[in-house]
Amino acid sequence: MPEEIERILMRQLAGYLAMPIFVVDADGNLLFYNEPAEELLGRRFDEAGPMPAAEWSTVFLPRDADGSPISPDDLPLMIALRKHQPAHRSFWITGHDGVARRLGLTAFPLEGQGGRHLGAVAIFWVVPT
């Protein structure tokens, strides 16, 4: 199936933005994250590459303030995919570089013309501790 134009445009836009952006398809597979996201995730996208939701939702060790793991289904990006609505949460991750960071993350569904569900997008930032 050819790549949906909306996902192509979202990826292109993300490449120009200074905010960290993470883009997934309708099945939750990672399609792209931009250069500002690379700095927070501790690995260039060219090195990490596309990956299924089961991998990216756990590889960064998402956890609450008390250190307890966050279920992949409770991550904002998965909520945006499943419920087709925006979601927000602050949580800790450990990047590929071994650095723990507290992030604020807002995710929203990516919908095409005619209501086609194409995936979701996350915008995130470091929350000062």
Quote the strand ranges of 34-112, DSSP E.
Answer: 87-94, 100-111
pLDDT in tens, 20-75: 999 999 999 999 999 999 999 999 999 988 999 988 888 888 999 999 999 999 99
Structure tokens at 7: 């996902």
Note the pTM of the prediction, 2 decimals.
0.90
Mean pLDDT of the 106-123 span: 93
Neighbours of 80 (CB within 10 A): 24
What is the number of domains present in the chain?
Answer: 1
Taking the CA atoms of residue 41, residue 62, residue 75 and residue 12 in that order, the dihedral angle to the nearest 10 degrees is 0
What pLDDT sits at residue 109? 96
Domain extent at residue 73: 5-126
Contact 33, 45 (CB under 8 A): yes
What CATH number should be reported for the domain holding residue 36?
3.30.450.20
| 1 band by pLDDT with thresholds 50, 70 and 90 | very low
